[in-house]
Every structure is written in structure tokens, then in C-alpha cells.
Copies of this chain bind each other. A is one copy, B any other.
Amino acid sequence: MGKQMTEMLKGTLEGIVLAILAGSPAYGYDITARLRDKGLTDIAEGTVYALLVRIEQRGLVDVEKRPSEKGPPRKVYSLNAQGGEYLEEFWKTWSFLSGRLEQLRNEGR
């Protein structure tokens, strides 16, 4: 992946995953697949699992273990109330930064 994208994902990937979970609960392998569907093709599995461990430890998600017919049991993550608040904060932060950047881009024309 491009180095720019790698750096830009720092701070945003977390929000992206939380937003996905806000849509519906999901497990790591599934989240990785969904990210690929969204065009974020090169996000490593390991990155997603590490991120999930982090947000779980921060109490932003609830976890439930469910058997799978096709492999090892799944760890299904769902956004809880605290995670919802955190996601709202994320959108605010992102809106602000996004606004500044859009402004800068328009000035350069």
C-alpha cells in the first residue's frame, strides 16, 4: 500500500471499523473482507485483529463467541453505548479536519 495511505489510516481506520460495527455486529475476518469490498484492499488481517483487541480493552465494544460451520469459533463484536459516544466524537473530529483540508484544497485553485 502507499505510504501516504498507511499514515493516513492511523486514526481513521479505528473510526472506519467502529462505523462498520455501528451498522451491524461483525467478526474480525468478516470486517477484513468488508474493508476489502470498500476498496481498502491492502489492509492486513493482523492490523484488524490488533485494532479489535484495542477497542475491546477500551470498552468500546461487546464481544460474543459463536461457533462457525466453516472454521474456528468467531468473535463477534458489537458497538456498545460507550463506543457509540466515541464514534460520535470521531465524526466531529473528522468533520473538522475534513473541513480544513477542503478549504485548503479550494484555496489552491
Contacts and interface: CB of A to CB of B under 8 A. Distances in A.
A107 B21 CA distance: 12
A65 interface: no
A104 B8 contact: no
- Copies of this protein in the complex: 2
Given A9-B11, A108-B22, A108-B23, A39 B100 contact: yes
A26 to B, nearest CB: 13
B105 A91 contact: yes
A23 to B, nearest CB: 6
Interface of A is mostly: helix
Interface residues of A, number: 35
Given A10-B11, A11-B10, A104-B19, A39 B89 contact: no
Interface of A: 2, 4-12, 14-16, 19-20, 22-23, 38-40, 89-91, 93-94, 96-98, 100-101, 103-105, 107-108
